């Protein structure tokens, strides 16, 4: 691999080969060398010239992990049990992540003398002093910078006792920005694919596995070795803010997609057990399913901490785990990590009757996950469970649902007692030491030491499986060449096109369907209006009123005209109606609270103002230390969609166009009420996290529509209010002007309603 970078931040690699064995790499700066024995070469990670079982790459990963777990001190193990909040390049100070400095200065004060990929003072302390080895990495300028940072982190870790490498994770980073343009010859920073709900809309399990294989290749090229994905909750609540990250409401489809993704991500081709240098750990989430949140409120917020099960469908929510992520076809057998949900699964603890967040619940983690389903892999909590709570409708603050009145150390101990191995979003080693000391007082030293060594073995086993102890370094020089290649970008773009669902294609008086449009048709595209508003990070977004698609992109497919009168067709780009501009609707209003209400408001999926006249009189769950009531009732309250102007644009355009076709292109996250405009649209396309160019490919007939609805499309907000949050397929579906029912697995192509093997396989009843 050689010299990776000239200058102070260079990581120089020494490499040794094994015939019929792994290539071993150490950094010159680590002071670690090699051991030759029986004709093989091993890394001397302990630095004393002795070959210990954990250094012997010939042994199984589990045996090596057990050996090292017994050599580490309890304090070092506690470092392994921390998985930090988001690390960014460059590191900078902010109210969510805290201070980031370089030799005592923030990045702006370094005057360009420090590259974006340098380690921060805090990261050096995490690795060198606290023995933290797991980091979530988010914002980065490019693959090369990420790889350079990774290699510095690995060299620093290698210098420390035992040479335990760093394992860096990533949230999904292959999503699209709608305005991205695809150039088949150029590649990009990374390949762009639809949201999970869009991949589900393809009903194509083989495509999902191919997607995961590309994700793994791009991740390993940058140095990422754990993916905080896939999200495999079934989305049975239409208003849920994380619907787009799911595979929809059918547990069978979700299980199949989950299995394909985990196989694609974790499998190194040619390996006996599937594990190797091309593998990435899949951390499937959110056990035991997070989609049954009451009234659509998301558990990131204190106002949304409760899941409810009026349809008695708790078992169905586990199917994507039990029949998918835990039952892989390839050699790795099962997802190597699980992330529990934030939620309180109301009244589902059959052992202790506790209504606490999943990671705090011993019945749901130990009795159900570990004992009943035999899951003995890593369990890592979702991010930021312990500490001080934040405001009711803001995502900052601890998600300590049900144990809010415990101290952070007591909360941490309860997570350990429940059976979790690792703390997501935590970097406070002192807090974990305090929790351990509390555990010793409660259970005794022998119990606590055995308990954390068990977690250490699970954590380390994954690192051995990945080959990190042999070679943790990545090729920073060529990282940009390996990520976002033309091949990967083209595959992602084709998936975007395949994922779009054509809901409607009305024939005119001449029996000609509205779509596809002839090449270079004269097209009018109205502006899209967004009022100024506060986003979910509580920052003010400005008012915007402009055509959402760049003219140069439109003119690759159509001839753009300025007025409906000049046009032969119109395309109206619309967004799914929500209470907020972006992010997740919290279902809570500080204004309502200040006006004397309880703060809880409806979540809408229609454009026009919505009054919740069919909502429950009493909520099914409730309670918060800051509230003196449990009824989170919002019946009779009214909310307005932020995107209401999109409906006006469609209706006004149709009025101006008369008999000429009007096409609605909806960027959606999931189910919505289409009855407000369906009869006024001649064609309707729905995409889930795709580029505008993907829509245009279908509009102009460059490809044939292929996607199917991975959920039911509700006829009204009334049916949404009256359905059971946990139960799939229990809304009244919309029926359009042509008599088509917008049910699960409905979609159209140029011939009409799709009736293929996908529909046959997943049809209901």
Give the contacts of 370 (CB within 8 A, at least 6 positions apart).
376, 419
Specify the 3-state DSSP secondary structure of 610: strand
What pLDDT is attached to residue 47? 96
The widest CA-to-CA distance across the chain, in whole angstroms, is: 86
Specify the 3-state DSSP secondary structure of 666: strand
Q: Which residue has the tokens 């035992």?
A: 162
What pLDDT is attached to residue 621? 98
Sign of the dihedral defined by the CA atoms of residues 392, 398, 399, 404, in that order = negative
- Say how many C-beta atoms besides its own lie within 10 A of residue 760's C-beta: 9
What pLDDT is attached to residue 583? 67
- Report domain extents, the chain: 486-762
What pLDDT is attached to residue 540? 80
How far, CA to CA in Å, does 348 sit from each of 301, 344, 362? Answer: 21, 9, 12
What pLDDT is attached to residue 3? 37
Query: Secondary structure of the chain: what % helix, strand, coil (to 5)?
Result: 30, 15, 50
Tokens of 90: 């460059």
189 neighbors 143 (Cβ within 8 angstroms): yes
- Of the candidates 703, 748, 752, the one whose C-alpha atom is nearest the C-alpha of residue 201 is 748
What pLDDT is attached to residue 538? 63
- Say how many C-beta atoms besides its own lie within 10 A of residue 507's C-beta: 11
pTM of the model: 0.96
DSSP run (H or E) holding 530:
strand 528-530
Helices H / strands E in the chain, number of each: 20, 28
Q: Which residue has the tokens 């009824």?
A: 631
What pLDDT is attached to residue 441? 98
Ramachandran bin of 680, using left for φ above 0, alpha for ψ from -120 to 50, beta for the remaining angles: alpha
What is the dotted CATH code of the domain comprising 486-762? 3.40.50.1700
DSSP run (H or E) holding 505:
strand 501-505
Which residues does the chain have with pLDDT short of 50? 1-6, 184-185
- Say how many C-beta atoms besides its own lie within 10 A of residue 747's C-beta: 24
Angle at 155 between CA 152 and CA 158, to 5 degrees: 150
Question: Which phi and psi angles does 435 have, rounded to 5°?
Answer: -65, -40
Per residue, what are the HEC states of 461-488? HHHHHCCCCCCCCCCCCCHHHHCCCHHH
707 neighbors 498 (Cβ within 8 angstroms): yes
- Say how many C-beta atoms besides its own lie within 10 A of residue 625's C-beta: 10
DSSP state of 367: I
232 half-sphere exposure, CB direction, 13 A CA radius: 38
720 half-sphere exposure, CB direction, 13 A CA radius: 28
What pLDDT is attached to residue 9? 84
């Amino acid at each position: 691999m050689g010299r990776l970078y000239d200058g102070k931040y260079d990581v120089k690699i020494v490499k040794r080969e094994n015939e019929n064995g792994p290539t071993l790499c150490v950094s010159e700066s680590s002071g670690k060398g090699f051991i030759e024995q029986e004709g093989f070469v091993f890394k001397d990670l302990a630095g004393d010239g002795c070959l210990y079982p954990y250094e012997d790459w010939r042994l199984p990963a589990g045996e090596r992990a057990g050996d090292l777990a017994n050599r580490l001190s309890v304090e070092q193990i506690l470092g392994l049990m921390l998985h930090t909040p988001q690390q960014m390049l460059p590191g900078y100070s902010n109210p969510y992540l805290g201070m980031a400095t370089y030799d005592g200065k923030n990045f702006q004060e370094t005057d360009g003398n420090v590259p974006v990929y340098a380690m921060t003072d805090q990261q050096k302390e995490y690795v060198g002093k606290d023995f933290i080895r797991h980091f979530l990495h988010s914002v980065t300028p490019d693959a090369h910078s990420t790889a350079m940072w990774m290699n510095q982190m690995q060299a620093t870790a290698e210098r420390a006792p035992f040479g335990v490498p760093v394992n860096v994770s990533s949230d999904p980073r292959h999503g699209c920005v709608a305005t991205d343009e695809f150039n088949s010859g150029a590649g990009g920073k990374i390949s762009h694919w639809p949201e999970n709900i869009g991949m589900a809309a393809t009903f194509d399990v083989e495509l999902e596995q191919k997607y995961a294989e590309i994700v793994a290749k791009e991740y390993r090229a940058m140095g990422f070795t754990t993916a905080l994905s896939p999200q495999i909750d079934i989305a049975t609540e239409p208003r849920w803010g994380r619907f787009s990250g799911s595979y929809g409401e059918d547990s069978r489809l979700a299980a199949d997609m989950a299995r394909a993704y985990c196989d694609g991500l974790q499998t190194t081709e040619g390996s006996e057990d599937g594990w190797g240098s091309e593998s990435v750990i899949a951390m499937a989430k959110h056990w035991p399913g997070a989609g049954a949140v009451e009234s659509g409120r998301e558990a990131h917020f204190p106002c949304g901490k409760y899941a409810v099960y009026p349809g008695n469908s708790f078992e169905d929510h586990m199917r994507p785990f039990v029949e998918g992520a835990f039952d892989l076809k390839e050699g790795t057998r099962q997802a190597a990590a699980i992330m529990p949900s934030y939620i309180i699964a109301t009244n589902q603890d059959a052992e202790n009757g506790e209504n606490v967040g999943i990671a705090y619940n011993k019945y749901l983690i130990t009795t159900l996950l570990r004992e009943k389903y035999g899951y003995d892999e890593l369990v890592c909590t979702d991010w930021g469970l312990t500490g001080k709570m934040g405001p009711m409708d803001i995502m900052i603050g601890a998600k300590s649902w049900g144990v809010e009145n415990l101290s952070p150390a007591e909360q941490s101990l309860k997570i350990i007692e429940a059976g979790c191995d690792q703390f997501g979003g935590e970097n406070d080693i002192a807090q974990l030491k305090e929790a351990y000391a509390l555990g010793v007082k409660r259970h005794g030293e022998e119990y606590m030491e055995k308990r954390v060594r068990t977690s250490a073995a699970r954590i380390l086993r994954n690192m051995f499986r990945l080959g990190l102890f042999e070679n943790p370094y990545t090729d920073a020089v060529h990282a940009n060449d390996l990520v976002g290649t033309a091949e990967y970008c083209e595959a992602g773009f084709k998936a975007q096109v395949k994922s779009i669902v054509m809901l409607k294609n009305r024939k005119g008086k001449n029996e000609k369907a509205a779509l596809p449009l002839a090449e270079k048709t004269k097209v009018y595209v109205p502006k899209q209006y967004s009022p100024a508003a506060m986003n979910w990070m509580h920052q003010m977004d400005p008012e915007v009123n402009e055509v959402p698609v760049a003219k140069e992109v439109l003119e690759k497919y159509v001839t753009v005209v300025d007025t409906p009168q000049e046009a032969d067709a119109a395309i109206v780009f619309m967004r799914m109606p929500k209470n907020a501009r972006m992010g997740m609707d919290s279902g809570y209003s500080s204004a309502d609270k200040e006006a004397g209400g309880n703060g809880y408001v409806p979540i809408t999926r229609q454009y026009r103002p919505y009054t919740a006249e069919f909502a429950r009189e009493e909520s099914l769950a409730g309670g918060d230390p800051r509230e003196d009531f449990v009824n989170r009732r919002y019946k009779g309250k009214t909310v307005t969609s932020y995107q209401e102007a999109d409906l006006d644009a469609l209706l006004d355009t149709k009025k101006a166009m008369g008999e000429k076709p009007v096409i609605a292109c909806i960027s959606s996250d999931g189910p919505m009420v289409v009855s407000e405009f369906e009869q006024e649209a001649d064609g309707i396309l729905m995409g889930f996290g795709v580029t505008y160019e993907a829509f245009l490919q279908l509009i102009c007939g460059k490809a044939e529509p292929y996607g199917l609805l991975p959920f039911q499309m509700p006829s009204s907000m009334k049916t949404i209010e009256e359905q059971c949050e946990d139960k799939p397929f229990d809304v009244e579906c919309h029926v359009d002007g042509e008599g088509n029912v917008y049910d699960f697995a409905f979609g159209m192509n140029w011939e009409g309603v799709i009736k293929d093997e996908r529909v046959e396989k997943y049809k209901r009843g």
